Amino acid sequence: MSTIESGTTRERVIRTTVPLLFVVAAASVFLYDGFVGYPLDNATKFVESLGLSDGADPVVNPELTADRGQALAARFPNGAALDELKGEVAGTPVEHGRDTYFVGPGGQLHVRHVAGRIEQIGWVDGTHSETDITLQRWLGYGLIVLGLGFVGQLIRVLRTRVCVSDSGLQIGGAAVIPFESMKMLRYREPGLTGEMALEYATGERTNVVVLDRYVIRHFDEIITAICERAGLSHPAQADDDVRLTDAPTEQLVDKG
């Protein structure tokens, strides 16, 4: 007997892959917004609010958070030297008349100054606050974890192997089920032709393994081979016999 080896069905692979693609796409959107999109939108709208030209987009300092901005405001109160503050904050600030802005992802540290001395200092949230940005990032991280689960599921699906050889039936890395131990092949549920239950003996114990058309690509070939080698009735043929036996007598008579 030639060996019949089967992987899983294309439909099962597609149904497992599609959710993974959706999760990856959603995670990409959330992470992009959290790390690039929201900070960039904040910077663009900040420039527009000052009436600056389109090419004047500021450099966003990723380390300048609201907490750090407020801490700097406390360290450099009114009257402090503006140059000393500039030495504490990386990046190039935006200068606009008497106002200097240090731009972070979630807002700006706004400094109003006179003759190089701070007159007023405070943090201003952007259109998208740091809470918004953090939420986008955590949603992205959560979807990455979910995506890893889908990747594991896809690997498991792609590793599906069912083999019928001279030794018997083997599913994945499980032990081979010899043909001589097979007792019966039936539909798992009446009327459901896509799943078959194979009963086989292990010592005095009867076990059942389910063979699923959705899972096994060469389902029909494997079922036929099991029936031939184990001497079992094919469930479909058994159903045909029952229908003929139960049919009214006049339907069995050749009217010709």
Q: What is the CATH number of the domain that holds 233?
A: 2.30.29
Output the pLDDT for position 242: 36
Output the pLDDT for position 240: 45
Cα 19 from Cα 11, distance rounded (Å) = 13
pLDDT band at 254 (very low <50, low <70, confident <90, very high): very low
Q: What is the DSSP letter of 208?
A: E
Q: Are both 193 and 235 inside the same structural domain?
A: yes
Name the nearest CA neighbour of 61 among 120, 6, 102, 1: 102
Q: Are both 147 and 167 inside the same structural domain?
A: no
The pTM of the full predicted model, rounded to 2 decimals, is: 0.75
Is 2 part of any domain?
no
pLDDT band at 54 (very low <50, low <70, confident <90, very high): low
Q: Are both 127 and 205 inside the same structural domain?
A: no
Q: Are both 123 and 173 inside the same structural domain?
A: no
Give residue 184's domain range. 161-247
pLDDT band at 33 (very low <50, low <70, confident <90, very high): very high
Chain-centre distance for alpha carbon 61 = 31
Is 154 part of any domain?
yes
Among 136, 159, 182, give the residue marking a domain's end.
159
Q: CA angle 41-137-123, nearest 5°?
A: 50
Q: Are both 116 and 196 inside the same structural domain?
A: no
Q: Are both 188 and 237 inside the same structural domain?
A: yes
Cβ atoms of 210 and 187 closer than 8 Å? no
Among 96, 130, 159, give the residue marking a domain's end.
159
Residue 59, pLDDT > 90, answer: no
Helix (H) or strand (E) holding 222: helix 219-230
Q: Are both 129 and 184 inside the same structural domain?
A: no
Q: How many domains does the chain have?
A: 2
